[in-house]
Structure 1
């Protein structure tokens, strides 16, 4: 991107040492920066002080934590369980979709952005690489195991169980059990015989 086309605000942020990628932030206005900062502080307060409040722990997993996620921009359905220490990509919370009856267990990470590495070459500045964004969809009744990391652009199918400590880099089909780093389907869940 030609530096003459970059906004004054972006160039000022660069002079302050904030090395944002030009592709995503090159045309940012001062109003946009102030709005982002205010939202970031509000969201940080909600996530830090309400998500894991010891005082509110009896209502946290099924009432408070889903409410907090909705407030920061996630799309959260009914009767959702959110465990302790769940981390969401707060800057891109609007890309997270959690349907009804989902269990997101403790220390799960929902990451909606990552650096785009396809054109990365020797001598390039990693900090200037653009981000690739992707929605995360947790379909009805699925469950993530403790310590699961879910990468951008992933859909976890209805009724699926992800094993503890798994790294989910691609879509996982409905009614399966997937484990590992990267997560792979190890079992198809069958219909109960009568």
Structure 2
């Protein structure tokens, strides 16, 4: 009873403040956590805005943006290219892994949470469904085309190429080309004749 009362109080306070957590999540979310997250988001949002400072344009893609993504919480390897207006899931940036030599080009969005619709049925309110979280793994030398959206739980294998404006809902094997919404493999990259070692170069 006491737990239900506490849940109800937290629910009412957070709703009054404009936070739209589902009822399922209110049992796991304290007011302190929300306040902490709120100010953390302000800090991370400021870092995200710095990624597109025009005055630093020459060093933005390979120096500033990868460094800022690390500060936001992403795991970013060496010699990574991050294009203009790339957005990551600020609340769950620690679930994003971008490996060495990967290219995430302009306008891409990396999303690590989405509504869990597993138990959603006719007559239910989708806003009351909880969220599911999933890590995003972008392998070595991956090229992600402009304005692509990568969804939670997706792994993109080394050397894969994702066509522009794709929506990646499931894993993409290494050294393939995938395009579309949802992204589907349309080509497998062959190994160069006489070559047995894979290396990544700038």
Q: TM-score, normalised by structure 1?
A: 0.93
> Which residue is equivalent to 2:199?
none
C-alpha change, 1:25 and 1:140, in structure 2 (3 Å) is farther
TM-superposed deviation, 1:123:
2.4
Deviations along 1:126-165, one digit per CA (max 9) or x if unpaired, are 2111011111000111110011111111000000000111
Deviations along 1:94-130, one digit per CA (max 9) or x if unpaired, are 1100011100001111111111112112222221110
C-alpha change, 1:25 and 1:58, in structure 2 (3 Å) is farther
Which ranges in structure 1 are unaligned for 5 or more consecutive residues? none
RMSD: 1.6
> Which residue is equivalent to 2:61?
61
Distance in 1 of aligned mates of 2:46 and 2:109: 18
Tell me, yes or no, if structure 1 residue 43 matches structure 2 residue 44.
yes
Give the conservation status (yes or no) of the 8 Å contact 1:116–1:130. Answer: yes
3-state SS of paired residue (1:43): helix
Distance in 2 of aligned mates of 1:80 and 1:7: 46
Pairing 1:1-194 to 2, within 5 Å after superposition: 3-4=4-5, 6=7, 8-48=9-49, 50-194=50-194
Deviations along 1:31-80, one digit per CA (max 9) or x if unpaired, are 322211111000011112x1111011111000110111111111101110
Show structure 1 runs of 4+ deviating over 6 A. none
Distance in 2 of aligned mates of 1:121 and 1:62: 46
Which ranges in structure 2 are unaligned for 5 or more consecutive residues? 195-202
- Higher mean alpha-carbon deviation, 19-28 vs 120-129, is at 19-28
Give the conservation status (yes or no) of the 8 Å contact 2:14–2:31. Answer: no
Distance in 2 of aligned mates of 1:63 and 1:96: 18
